[in-house]
């Protein structure tokens, strides 16, 4: 029985030899290979070796040697057709029957492989020719020496649009095949085809077996897109391959992390720094096929690929797009982590400036997908009203609903529900006949005297005896500036005293800041400290500041932790005791919370004026009561500054 050659090739590519052998023998890791006692002769010490990268097995005792099909034939005592059908069943591939057309197509692919390989060699030669001087200098400026350029087979496409065509014609290749392989482009007016890559440095793209199948080119000067890639051909589909895939397969088998970077030079820099599992998509966002390929690379179900992005806004948008693409395909043991580089850095620049350890730290701070989903739907979103909180919850529910696997979706729903409850639940209060207890403070409100011996009942419109206007002679401060100052104080307390986060984090989470920069910083602080709390690994103030700096918040943190913040809030200083910091926190928080509730009440009263419904009336009454409760945490000489 004859099988199409391309089918056999795909079968050998799709199944890892070690997986097939490992189902029949107990394999032991031996560097980049596996070993076991040979199943084909009696022996006590292992001399049977399996090499996934080369795709063959070999016994140094009896000389047995072959590929995946040969192993199954010998071990399972099957004929060639039976072995192929058994392996096709393991790979989930239907077994086709070869036709004359299939054979011709296979021979054509062999020709195209030879053609593209010769083009790669020519590009390599041009890099060191006079015409390639600009390309050579470009790679040298990027820190690559001759060995580095040779390792990645980097090349140069000169500006002469006919040079490659002439060289390949001399070697016996047809013009039509050059067009089919994406090396030449045929003008619409029927003129002679010209080189697709011109005046560009060249990055060869290989398939899973390490054969060159396409190219990427970066322009050095002149007009045109910065990067271009070979269009889809019989050898290459850019949505199915990843740059660096063949190298990453072996690296992942050796236990090294799989890192998805954004570009060719990022992958090269990562590999040279020891991160040989680095790959990159080819000018497109991650596709479903590429995502599945990433998971196939990693044999350990407890390990996941890292999606690595720049730390600027564009990088975050790219990260969220990748998360959106990967979310529907999550399955037990199939996930990812998202890593952000310091703002203004990419893997290449980070490693050149700070070394491989800096990149390892970035990977160490990568967030799980569940945290990424939370940030996607909460960062910069208003959560000051019940409606806005409900909107965030609905967005999270919708996002989680995209996960196809029911078990994974169920666990994500539980996780998001817990986060919503923690973020939006009111701060815990304990009461007795003296009024509410402010954690870290003293009994307030309620009875005669209250704090400082003052009565702390508050007045609100719509309830008898309550007021919102300041008393005569009251000195009003700029409410916006005062609120922003208080927000800065709250953040300074948490950053300087992260050990208080377990007690104060929930309250910080329910108090969004109008100032966008402060709000982004608030979200970042909460995210970092909450993640470390979940992992049972805390952060001290210095470590927290380093994390915030690497995430792009260096300027605002320096401004925040300055004398302008501490001058009226000494309890926020880093040298203040935790007890003093906590005691100062609560009155400050209560003022901001009171301001938020008052704003909600004004909105509710306006809604009631427009529509005198029972629901609107009930909301006004509930908020009036909340105004009273929130006011109990403030002192009388400041309680109306924000009203």
Q: Is the pLDDT of residue 438 over 50?
A: no
Q: Is the pLDDT of residue 599 over 90?
A: no
Pull the structure tokens for residue 20. Answer: 């097939």
CA–CA dist 457, 257 (Å, integer):
60
Residue 147 CB neighbours (<10 A): 8
Residues with Cβ < 8 Å from 278, sequence gap 6 or more? Answer: 244, 248, 258, 259, 260, 261, 266, 267, 270, 271, 347
At 378-410, the pLDDT tens digits run 988 888 888 888 899 999 999 999 999 999 999
Mean pLDDT (whole number) for 551-566: 87
Look at residue 503 in the predicted model and tell me its pLDDT.
86
User: Angle at Cα 57 formed by Cα 53 and Cα 63, nearest 5°?
Assistant: 145
The SS3 of residue 471 is coil
What backbone torsions phi and psi does residue 219 show, to the nearest 5 degrees?
A: -75, 145
HSE-CB of 245 using CA atoms within 13 angstroms? 28
Helix (H) and strand (E) counts for the chain? Answer: 26, 18
Mean pLDDT (whole number) for 89-106: 75
Mean pLDDT (whole number) for 95-103: 69
CA–CA dist 610, 604 (Å, integer):
10
Mean pLDDT (whole number) for 333-362: 90
Look at residue 400 in the predicted model and tell me its pLDDT.
94
How confident is residue 639, by pLDDT bands cut at 50, 70 and 90?
Answer: very low
The torsion of the CA quartet 622, 624, 630, 634, rounded to 10 degrees, works out to -170
Helix 100-127 with 163-170: angle, nearest 10 deg: 120
Q: Is the pLDDT of residue 444 over 60?
A: no
Look at residue 336 in the predicted model and tell me its pLDDT.
93
Look at residue 98 in the predicted model and tell me its pLDDT.
60
At 149-175, the pLDDT tens digits run 999 999 999 999 999 999 999 999 999
In this structure, of 7-11, 128-132, 201-205, 360-364, the range with the lowest mean pLDDT score is: 7-11
Query: Between the ranges 42-51, 398-407, 542-551, 616-625, where is the mean pLDDT highest?
Result: 398-407
Mean pLDDT (whole number) for 106-123: 88
Q: Helix/strand/coil (H, E, C) string of 140-154?
A: HHCCCCHHHHHHCCC
In this structure, of 267-281, 595-609, 612-626, the range with the lowest mean pLDDT score is: 612-626
Confirm if 261 and 279 have CB atoms less than 8 A apart: yes
How confident is residue 634, by pLDDT bands cut at 50, 70 and 90?
Answer: low
Look at residue 474 in the predicted model and tell me its pLDDT.
38
Mean pLDDT (whole number) for 441-470: 33
Q: Is the pLDDT of residue 617 over 60?
A: yes
Look at residue 2 in the predicted model and tell me its pLDDT.
67
Mean pLDDT (whole number) for 341-365: 90
Q: Is the pLDDT of residue 441 over 70?
A: no
Q: Is the pLDDT of residue 113 over 50?
A: yes
Q: For the chain, which domains are there?
A: 5-91 (3.90.580.10), 99-236 (3.90.980.10), 245-424 (3.40.1360.10), 431-631 (no CATH)
How confident is residue 431, by pLDDT bands cut at 50, 70 and 90?
Answer: very low
User: Angle at Cα 191 formed by Cα 189 and Cα 197, nearest 5°?
Assistant: 105
Looking at per-residue pLDDT, the higher value among 599 and 358 belongs to 358
User: Which burial class, exposed, middle or buried, applies to 549 when counting CB atoms under 10 A from its CB (0-12, 13-18, 19+)?
Assistant: middle
At 221-255, the pLDDT tens digits run 877 889 999 999 999 998 889 999 988 988 887 78
Look at residue 270 in the predicted model and tell me its pLDDT.
95
Q: Is the pLDDT of residue 443 over 50?
A: no
Report percent pLDDT > 70 for the chain.
85
At 249-276, the pLDDT tens digits run 888 877 889 999 988 999 999 999 999 9
Look at residue 640 in the predicted model and tell me its pLDDT.
29
Report percent pLDDT > 90 for the chain.
38
At 177-205, the pLDDT tens digits run 999 999 999 988 878 999 999 999 999 99
Look at residue 312 in the predicted model and tell me its pLDDT.
78
């Amino acid at each position: 029985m004859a099988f199409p050659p391309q089918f056999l090739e795909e079968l050998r590519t799709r199944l890892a030899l070690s997986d097939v052998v490992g189902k029949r023998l107990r394999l032991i890791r031996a560097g980049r290979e596996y070993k076991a006692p040979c199943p084909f002769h009696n022996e006590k010490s292992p001399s049977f070796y399996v090499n996934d990268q080369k795709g063959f097995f070999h016994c140094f005792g009896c000389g047995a040697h072959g590929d995946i099909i040969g192993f199954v034939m010998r071990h399972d005592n099957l004929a060639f057709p039976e072995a192929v059908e058994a392996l096709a069943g393991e790979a989930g591939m239907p077994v086709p029957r070869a036709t004359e057309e299939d054979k011709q197509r296979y021979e054509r692919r062999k020709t195209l492989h030879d053609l593209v390989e010769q083009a790669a060699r020519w590009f390599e030669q041009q890099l060191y020719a006079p015409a390639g001087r600009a390309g050579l200098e470009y790679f040298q400026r990027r820190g690559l020496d001759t060995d580095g350029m040779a390792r990645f087979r980097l090349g140069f496409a000169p500006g002469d649009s006919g040079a490659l065509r002439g060289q390949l014609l001399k070697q016996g290749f047809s013009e039509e095949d050059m067009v089919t392989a994406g090396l030449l482009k045929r003008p619409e007016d029927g003129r002679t085809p010209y080189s697709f890559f011109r005046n560009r440095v060249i990055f060869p793209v290989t398939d899973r077996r390490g054969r060159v199948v396409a190219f990427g080119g970066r322009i050095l000067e002149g007009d045109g897109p910065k990067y271009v890639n070979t269009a889809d051909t019989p050898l290459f589909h850019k949505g199915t391959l990843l740059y660096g895939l063949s190298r990453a397969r072996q690296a992942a088998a050796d236990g090294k992390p799989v890192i998805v970077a954004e570009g060719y030079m990022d992958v090269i820099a990562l590999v040279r720094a020891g991160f040989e599992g680095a790959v990159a998509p080819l000018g497109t966002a991650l596709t479903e096929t590429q995502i599945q390929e990433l998971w196939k690379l990693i044999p350990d179900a407890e390990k996941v690929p890292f999606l690595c992005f720049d730390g600027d806004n564009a990088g975050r948008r790219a990260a969220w797009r990748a998360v959106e693409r990967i979310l529907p395909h999550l399955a037990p043991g199939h996930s990812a982590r998202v890593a952000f580089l310091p703002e203004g850095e990419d893997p290449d620049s980070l490693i050149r400036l700070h070394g491989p350890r800096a990149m390892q730290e970035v990977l160490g701070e990568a967030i799980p997908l569940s945290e990424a989903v939370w940030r996607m739907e909460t960062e910069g979103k208003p959560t000051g009203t019940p409606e806005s909180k409900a909107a965030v919850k609905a967005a999270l529910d919708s996002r989680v609903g995209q996960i196809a696997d029911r078990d994974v979706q169920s666990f994500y729903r539980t996780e998001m529900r817990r986060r919503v409850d923690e973020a939006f639940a009111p701060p815990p209060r304990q009461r007795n006949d003296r009024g509410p207890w402010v954690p870290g403070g003293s009994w307030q409100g309620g009875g005669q005297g209250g704090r400082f011996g003052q009565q702390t009942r508050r007045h609100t419109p719509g309830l008898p005896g309550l007021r919102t206007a300041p008393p005569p002679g009251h000195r009003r401060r700029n409410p916006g500036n005062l609120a922003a100052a208080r927000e800065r104080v709250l953040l300074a307390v948490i950053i300087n005293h992260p050990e208080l986060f377990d007690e104060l984090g929930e309250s910080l989470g329910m108090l969004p800041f109008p100032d966008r920069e402060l709000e982004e910083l608030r979200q970042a602080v909460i995210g970092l400290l909450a993640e470390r709390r979940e992992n049972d690994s805390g952060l001290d103030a210095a470590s927290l500041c380093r994390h915030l700096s690497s995430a792009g918040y260096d300027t605002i943190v320096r401004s925040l932790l300055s004398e302008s913040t501490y001058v009226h809030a000494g309890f926020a200083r880093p040298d203040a005791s935790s007890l003093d910091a906590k005691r100062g926190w609560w009155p400050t928080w209560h003022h901001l919370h009171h301001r938020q509730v008052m704003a909600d009440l004004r909105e509710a009263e306006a809604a009631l004026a427009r529509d005198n419904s029972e629901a609107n009336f009930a909301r006004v009454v509930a908020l009036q009561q909340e105004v009273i409760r929130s006011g109990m945490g403030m002192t009388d000489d400041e309680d109306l500054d924000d009203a």
